[in-house]
Amino acid sequence: MKSLKSLNYGIVGLGIMGGSFAKAIRLNILSQNGSTGKILACNRSTACLSQARAEGIVDETFESSRVREMLPECDVLFVCLYPHATLDFLRDNRDFFKPGAIVTDISGVKGIFEEKLPEILRPDVDFIIGHPMAGGEKEGYANSRAEFFVNHNYILCAQPFNKEDDLELMRALIRDMGFTRITETTCDIHDYKIGFTSQLCHVIASALVQSAESPDITAFGGGSFEDLTRIAMINAPLWSELFISNKEKLVAHIENFERAMDEFKRAIRDGDDDALRRILSDTREKRLAMGAIRTIVKN
C-alpha cells in the first residue's frame, strides 16, 4: 500500500467539511517527519483559499476555473459538493483526473451514485462512495475543525469495481484522520438508515419549529425545545436536495412517524391513561435497546 505521507490530497469545495478534511490530513498525516505529500484545494470563492493557505493548511490553491490544472496532481480527491453537483463535477472533469487516482464524495445520499457512476467514470479512476458522519451546524471554512472527526463513524459503500488496495488505503486514511469506526454497507441500506437517523430527524425538528404559533413561545423553554430543534438551523438548498433524492425511503419513515404520532394523539385526546403508559413504557424500552445496540457497534 502507498504511504499516506507521500500522497497529494485534493479538496474540491473548501467549506466546513472540505476544510475539516484538509486540517485533519495536515495535522494527523502530513505534519509527520518524512512527509512529502501536499494538500491542494479548489473553491468557488477565494477568501477561504487565502485563509487556508495563510494558516499553512493547504499548499496550493485553485479557483474553480482552474480546477483542471489541479486534478492531474491529486492522488486522493475529496469532492465536497452537493450530491448532484458532485455527479456533474465527475462528468464534466472525467478526462482530467490523474490515472490511478482515488476519488470520493461526502454526500448524504448514495443511491444516485450507484446508479450514475458506471456511465461517468473512467476505468483507471477509482471512485469510493463515502459518508463521514461528522460535522457542525455552521457553514464555511472558518467553522471547519479537524476535531470533528475524532471518535466518529465513516460509512463506506464499496462497489464491485473498487480495487481492494484502494479500499484499504481509504480505510487507513479514514482512521488516521481520527475516525474510530468504519461501517461498510450497501448504498440501499445507507439511504434507508440515514433516512431515519438523519433526514427524518431534520424533518421533525423543522416541523416542530414551524408548528409554533409565535416565536415568543420559547420564552418558557427549559432545554427540551432547544435540544430537539438544534438541527432545524438548516442549510435549505442542501437538505432539500437530500430529502428529494431519498424521497421514497424518507416518505416511508415520515408515514411511520405519523402513525406513531396518531397513536399518541388518540391516547391523549381520549384520556386513555393505560394506553399512554403502555406507549411510553414501550418507548423507553425500545430506546434503551437502541442505545445498547449503538454501544455494541461503537465498541
CA distance 50 to 160: 39
CA distance 77 to 71: 8
Q: How confident is the model at residue 297 (pLDDT cuts 50, 70, 90)?
A: low
Structural domain for 291, as ranges? 190-298
Final residue before a domain boundary, out of 164, 185, 206: 185
Q: Which of 228, 82, 59, 266 is nearest to 274 (CA)?
A: 266
Final residue before a domain boundary, out of 185, 200, 228: 185
Average pLDDT score over residue span 31-54: 94
Q: What is the CATH number of the domain that holds 241?
A: 1.10.3660.10
Q: Are residues 34 and 178 in the same domain?
A: yes
HSE of 1, CA atoms in CB hemisphere, 13 A = 14
**In this predicted structure, what is the pLDDT of residue 220?**
82
Q: Are residues 173 and 203 in the same domain?
A: no
Q: Are residues 133 and 269 in the same domain?
A: no
Q: Are residues 8 and 46 in the same domain?
A: yes
Per residue in 114-157, pLDDT (tens digit) is 989 988 989 999 999 999 998 877 889 999 999 999 999 999 99
Q: Are residues 231 and 209 in the same domain?
A: yes
Cβ(279)–Cβ(162) below 8 Å: no
Which carries the bigger pLDDT value, residue 2 or residue 294? 2
**In this predicted structure, what is the pLDDT of residue 14?**
96
Instruction: Using a pLDDT cut of 90, give the percent of the chain over it.
Output: 84
CA distance 204 to 185: 26
Q: Are residues 194 and 166 in the same domain?
A: no
**In this predicted structure, what is the pLDDT of residue 291?**
81
Q: Are residues 265 and 129 in the same domain?
A: no
Residues 6+ apart with CB under 8 A from 191: 109, 110, 111, 246, 249
**In this predicted structure, what is the pLDDT of residue 118?**
86
Q: Are residues 44 and 175 in the same domain?
A: yes
Q: Which of 3, 151, 18, 24 is nearest to 75 (CA)?
A: 3
Instruction: Using a pLDDT cut of 70, give the percent of the chain over it.
Output: 98
User: What residue type is assigned to position 298 of the chain?
Assistant: K
| Overall domain count for the chain | 2
**In this predicted structure, what is the pLDDT of residue 295?**
52
Q: Are residues 236 and 148 in the same domain?
A: no
Q: Are residues 221 and 76 in the same domain?
A: no
Q: If residue 62 lies in a helix (H) or strand (E), which one and from where to where?
A: strand 60-63
Average pLDDT score over residue span 236-264: 97
Helices within 47-196 (DSSP H only): 47-54, 67-70, 83-92, 111-120, 164-177, 187-194
Per residue in 187-245, pLDDT (tens digit) is 999 999 999 999 999 999 999 999 998 888 888 878 899 999 988 988 899 999 999 99
Task: Please report, for residues 104, 122, 264, the alpha-carbon distance to residue 81 in angstroms, rounded to integers and kept in the order given.
Answer: 11, 20, 40
Mean pLDDT over the full length of the chain: 93
Q: How confident is the model at residue 294 (pLDDT cuts 50, 70, 90)?
A: low
Q: What is the CATH number of the domain that holds 123?
A: 3.40.50.720
**In this predicted structure, what is the pLDDT of residue 75?**
98
Final residue before a domain boundary, out of 185, 214, 239: 185
Q: Are residues 29 and 168 in the same domain?
A: yes
Q: Are residues 181 and 199 in the same domain?
A: no
Per residue in 15-33, pLDDT (tens digit) is 999 999 999 999 999 998 8
Residues 6+ apart with CB under 8 A from 265: none
